Structure 1
Amino acid sequence: MNPKCCSNDKCSETGNSENSAVDAPDKHAKYAYLSEFRVPKMDCPAEERLIRMALETVEPGVLLQFDIPQRQVRVFHTVNANEIAPKMHSLGLGASLTKTGPVKREEVTQARQSTASGSQREGLILKWLLGINAVMFAVEFVTGWLAQSTGLIADSLDMFADAAVYGVALYAVGRSSKVQLNAAQLAGWLQLILAFGVISEVIRRYLFGSEPVSTLMLIMGAIALVANVICLSLIHQQKESGAHMKASWIFSANDVIANAGVILAGLLVTWTGSRYPDLVIGFIIGLVVLNGARRILQLKA
């Protein structure tokens, strides 16, 4: 028979003597009880984030474990089960409490370690992304300036925005969904500012002239494309783990598109001998960056 938490927050259970170590848990321990919920409509990480947001306001705080394929949520908590269940039911995901009762300390330790492991993976990925984009920004900006290419300059500023975003996302790892959303919003505003800066540079070079060097555009564009494909592959598995990681995914996807555009512009400059393909791709990258900022600012936790 499964242990049940009663409405007066006192728990009782029937069981054999070998379970006596968990029959009378310390009610003052942070995670003395475990409640398991079946959530039929939890079929993607978006529902996971919704549940995390709903339970963030529970005091004292809870520790969560998700099994999306099995549609199961495990909530480690104190004697506040009566506060948790209504919040789960209010989400409209069909949540039902399958069991609740005292929990062994070993299970809590394992859950903590699993959560910490996920945050460590996110942190490691973001450090790699931050390093790649910071280096590529410096290299591509200098190359773009020497090549008089608005496409490369625009792409390098996009890299700078990405590096800043990954730094902000790195700060948000392991923090609440609200903090993650605020980090994503900050990144979105930064990208919005840089988008307008890119478009302004295109207009300036259109008015005052430029002579882009197609060879440098092609070489640098190809290098940047490889770098961003690596970034995209690194972040793919973690893109749904929070708004901060979703923003990082959007940035990297935009970069791959921009790099392909720079390569195309380099080919057209070589073929036509005109500077206009470079100006056009620089303007388009500016619009892509602007759209990425819009998408990020619309993210929900």
Structure 2
Amino acid sequence: MACGSCCASSNKETSADPTWRRALWIALGVNAAMFAAEIVAGVAGGSEALQADALDFLGDSANYAISLGVAGTALAWRARAALLKGATLAILGIYVLAAALWAVWHGGTPQAGIMGVVGVIALVANAGVALMLYRYRTGDANMRSVWICSRNDAIGNVAVVLAAAGVFGTGTAWPDLIVAGIMAVLGISGGVQIIMQARSEIVPNGRGYTVAAE
């Protein structure tokens, strides 16, 4: 996805806002629960798209946990955390893309019913998290990374539901594999966006890197 304008913020008070931390705790709980449910459903239903979405939930759980750990700290730690999260998101995207390509030759046809039901549940969960975090979409790299993850998840869930309909209608695995590929590209693109903004908040000082003055 194309990266829109990044509005970096170095406001420590905003990242330490109790409302922000509470939103992160809720998002962490939702994503951890959905990872457990979706990985089981993805394996049982033979769906690469569901398994890709489950890995995304796992990555986001780690994302929210890291964000909670650095909330309220100096911009240096928040920028470094964003770099880590961006790299993790991109790596997960590469893994999902490789798994989808492997399944082209070795996978079977997934169960459309399981895909559809679980996809709708995941969409409701992610849409709720995205709406809750929408107000923080223009914060610093750490805050924006959380918003990007939740936004990408909601888009991915819509695609999973459409893939379920496609599998049901065609009787083939292609809709599932195509959606898994799209989700992988979203993950890679989102990771690159996060890394780019985090790097923009870091400047060389001749002895490695440090963060621009807050």
Question: 127, 130, 141: which is aligned to 1:232?
Answer: 130
> What's the offset of the Cα at 1:48?
4.8
> What's the offset of the Cα at 1:117?
9.6
- Matched residue SS, 1:274: coil
**Structure number with larger C-alpha Rg:** 1
Q: Residue 164 in 1 paired to residue 62 in 2?
A: yes
Q: Using a 3 Å threshold, how does the CA distance of structure 1 residues 48 and 269 change in structure 2: closer, same or farther?
A: closer
Q: Using a 3 Å threshold, how does the CA distance of structure 1 residues 239 and 47 change in structure 2: closer, same or farther?
A: closer
5 Å-filtered alignment, 1:289-300, equals: 289-299=187-197, 300=200
> What's the offset of the Cα at 1:281?
0.6
Aligned to 2:41: 143
Q: Residue 196 in 1 paired to residue 94 in 2?
A: yes
Q: Which runs of 5+ in 2 are unaligned?
A: 1-5, 202-214
> What's the offset of the Cα at 1:238?
2.4
User: Which structure's residues are more often strand, by fraction?
Assistant: 1
> What's the offset of the Cα at 1:47?
6.8
Aligned to 2:7: 46
Deviation digits for residues 261-281 of structure 1, max 9, x if unmatched? 000000011111111111111
Q: Using a 3 Å threshold, how does the CA distance of structure 1 residues 280 and 117 change in structure 2: closer, same or farther?
A: closer
Supply the distance in 2 between the matched residues of 1:265 and 1:117 (Cα, whole angstroms): 37
**Length, aligned pairs only:** 194
Supply the distance in 2 between the matched residues of 1:150 and 1:47 (Cα, whole angstroms): 35
- Matched residue SS, 1:298: helix
Deviation digits for residues 237-295 of structure 1, max 9, x if unmatched? 22333221100000011011100100000001111111111111111111111111111
Say if 1:177 and 1:243, in contact at 8 Å, map to a contact too.
Answer: no
Aligned to 1:92: none
Deviation digits for residues 215-239 of structure 1, max 9, x if unmatched? 0000010000000011011111223
Say if 1:185 and 1:297, in contact at 8 Å, map to a contact too.
Answer: yes
Percent of aligned pairs sharing the same letter = 31
Q: Report the TM-score, using the length of structure 1 for normalisation.
A: 0.61
Q: Using a 3 Å threshold, how does the CA distance of structure 1 residues 195 and 128 change in structure 2: closer, same or farther?
A: same
Aligned to 1:268: 166
Aligned to 2:114: 216
Aligned to 2:155: 257
Q: Which runs of 5+ in 1 are unaligned?
A: 1-44, 53-63, 65-114
Supply the distance in 2 between the matched residues of 1:117 and 1:196 (Cα, whole angstroms): 30
Write the letter of the residue equivalent to 2:89. Answer: Q
Supply the distance in 2 between the matched residues of 1:231 and 1:258 (Cα, whole angstroms): 14
Supply the distance in 1 between the matched residues of 2:55 and 2:93 (Cα, whole angstroms): 9
Supply the distance in 2 between the matched residues of 1:118 and 1:275 (Cα, whole angstroms): 45
Say if 1:147 and 1:212, in contact at 8 Å, map to a contact too.
Answer: yes
Q: Using a 3 Å threshold, how does the CA distance of structure 1 residues 225 and 47 change in structure 2: closer, same or farther?
A: closer
Supply the distance in 1 between the matched residues of 2:143 and 2:131 (Cα, whole angstroms): 13
Supply the distance in 2 between the matched residues of 1:116 and 1:285 (Cα, whole angstroms): 31
Supply the distance in 1 between the matched residues of 2:181 and 2:15 (Cα, whole angstroms): 42
Could you list the structure 1 runs, at least 4 aligned residues long, displaced by more than 2 angstroms after superposition.
45-49, 115-119, 238-242
5 Å-filtered alignment, 1:108-187, equals: 115=13, 118-187=16-85
